[in-house]
């Protein structure tokens, strides 16, 4: 069903091989929750963690488009690993968006050389982590919830507020995950996306040095430096799209091999029932529309990344619009498919050991972080009043 055609085959082939390995025990790992250490190590070994890192820093210099393609590939079989990989690369992108050249060189070279995995502790809606300036350093204290990827990570992208700032300003930095005072609690326990390590990080007098603070061009307000929320959403929407595709493929497999035709249908195979065909056809259409818009958004986002500081306000607005639209659509489609496939598989598909509900639990959980309603308003306002989405934590 994929429709990416212009991507480097190597990275995609590698990703598909990884996905095949993730698939082996994805449903068991969903029950266990915790950290998919073995699978993260496989990603480390694959070299995919340096996909977006420029060649000059030892990376593959691949496009954001390719990154998203791989997010989608992983999400077909494991929403958590897709999220972890997508977010890791998002944090790399963040450094490229608003780190200094020195920071880019330092952090990304280190990451490329060692295949380091990045996590974060940046939740913009949690206002409990504060820093104070002391001897040219920042001292952080407090917790941050929803710190996706924090467990089993080597670097953390972090965000805090600083007492005394008026108005309050979110500041960003990069620290090694094992910096003294960083306590990664590993208390994430969601009904879905259970292996994303999205728990709390507690900061106990954690030092952040000056050269770890990300200022870059962010303070200049260049449109390129305000892309992070849009890029985060572009990760999400490809997780959604992949989950939708994975759910439909799993349902297909079940319908083909296990589903019985309804006893009054008059058919020998479930797939001969026109209703089964029609409903699958409907989901195919829904999926193709999600994929088409996701592809379009991926291209535009990838282009915007390549434009770097040349990106105009209008172009920044256009990418925010298309990504917001694709985010809502793919989330809706994925929830709909993950909810609906049971009707196509039949009563026995609801057995606990099948764990087919994980698709729904995953996408239902992850879609909540970017309320569709507010994206719709933003899009309506853009359409009616020519207002581009206002850059912020979620747009």
Nearer to its own copies among residue 14 and residue 195 (C-beta)? 195
Smallest gap from residue 190 Cβ to its own copies (A):
5
Pick from 369, 340, 371: nearest CA to 356: 340
Backbone angles phi, psi at 114, to 5 degrees: -110, 5
Smallest gap from residue 195 Cβ to its own copies (A):
13
Helix, strand or coil, per DSSP, at residue 184:
strand
Nearer to its own copies among residue 209 and residue 275 (C-beta)? 275
Beta carbons within 8 Å of 126's beta carbon, 6+ residues apart: 143, 144, 145, 146
Smallest gap from residue 295 Cβ to its own copies (A):
7
Nearer to its own copies among residue 51 and residue 229 (C-beta)? 229
Smallest gap from residue 13 Cβ to its own copies (A):
22
Smallest gap from residue 305 Cβ to its own copies (A):
18
What is the helix (H) or strand (E) element at residue 207, kind and residue range?
A: strand 201-208
Q: Distance between CA atoms of 354 and 289, rounded to whole angstroms?
A: 28
Pick from 215, 214, 388, 219: nearest CA to 304: 388
- 137: which strand partners? 134
Q: Do you find a cis peptide bond into 154, omega within 30 degrees of 0?
A: no
Nearer to its own copies among residue 177 and residue 234 (C-beta)? 234
**Which two structure tokens, joined as six digits, stand for 152?**
């089993």
Q: How far is CA 189 from CA 74, 83, 144, 171, 185, in A?
A: 21, 15, 15, 28, 11
- 170: which strand partners? 161
Nearer to its own copies among residue 37 and residue 377 (C-beta)? 377
Report whether 80 contacts 193 (CB < 8 A): yes
Smallest gap from residue 254 Cβ to its own copies (A):
11
Nearer to its own copies among residue 83 and residue 361 (C-beta)? 361
**Which two structure tokens, joined as six digits, stand for 248?**
């439909």
Smallest gap from residue 303 Cβ to its own copies (A):
11
Nearer to its own copies among residue 108 and residue 129 (C-beta)? 129
Report whether 160 contacts 131 (CB < 8 A): yes
């Amino acid at each position: 069903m994929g429709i990416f055609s212009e991507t480097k085959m190597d990275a995609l082939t590698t990703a598909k091989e990884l996905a095949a390995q993730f698939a082996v025990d994805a449903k068991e790992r969903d029950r266990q929750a915790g950290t998919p250490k073995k699978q993260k190590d496989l990603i480390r070994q694959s070299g995919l963690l340096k996909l977006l890192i420029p060649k000059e820093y030892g990376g593959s210099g691949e496009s954001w488009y390719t990154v998203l393609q791989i997010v989608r590939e992983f999400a077909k079989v494991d929403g958590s690993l897709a999220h972890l990989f997508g977010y890791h690369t998002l944090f790399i992108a963040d450094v490229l968006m608003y780190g200094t050249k020195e920071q880019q060189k330092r952090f990304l070279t280190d990451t490329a050389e060692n295949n380091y995995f990045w996590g974060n502790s940046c939740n913009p809606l949690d206002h409990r982590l504060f820093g104070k300036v002391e001897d040219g350093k920042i001292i952080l204290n407090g917790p941050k919830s929803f710190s996706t990827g924090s467990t089993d990570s080597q670097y953390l992208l972090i965000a805090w507020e600083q007492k005394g700032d008026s108005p309050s300003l979110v500041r960003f930095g990069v620290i090694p995950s094992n910096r003294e005072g960083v306590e990664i609690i590993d208390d994430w326990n969601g009904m879905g996306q259970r292996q994303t390590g999205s728990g709390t990080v507690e900061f106990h007098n954690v030092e952040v040095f000056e050269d770890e603070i990300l200022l870059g061009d962010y303070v200049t307000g260049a449109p390129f430096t305000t892309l992070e929320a849009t890029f985060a959403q572009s990760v999400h929407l490809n997780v959604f799209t992949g989950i939708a595709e994975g759910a439909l493929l799993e349902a297909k497999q079940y319908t083909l091999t296990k589903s019985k035709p309804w006893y009054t249908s008059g058919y020998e195979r479930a797939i001969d029932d026109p209703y089964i065909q029609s409903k699958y056809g409907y989901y195919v259409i829904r999926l193709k529309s999600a994929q088409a818009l996701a592809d379009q958004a991926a291209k535009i986002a990838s282009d915007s990344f390549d434009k770097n500081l040349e990106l105009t306000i209008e172009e920044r607005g256009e990418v925010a619009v298309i990504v917001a639209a694709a985010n809502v659509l793919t989330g809706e489609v994925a929830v709909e498919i993950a909810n609906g496939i049971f009707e196509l598989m039949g009563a026995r598909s609801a057995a606990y050991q099948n764990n087919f509900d994980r698709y729904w639990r995953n996408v239902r959980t992850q879609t909540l972080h970017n309320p569709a309603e507010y994206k719709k308003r933003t899009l309506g306002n853009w359409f009616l009043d020519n207002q581009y989405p206002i850059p912020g934590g979620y747009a």
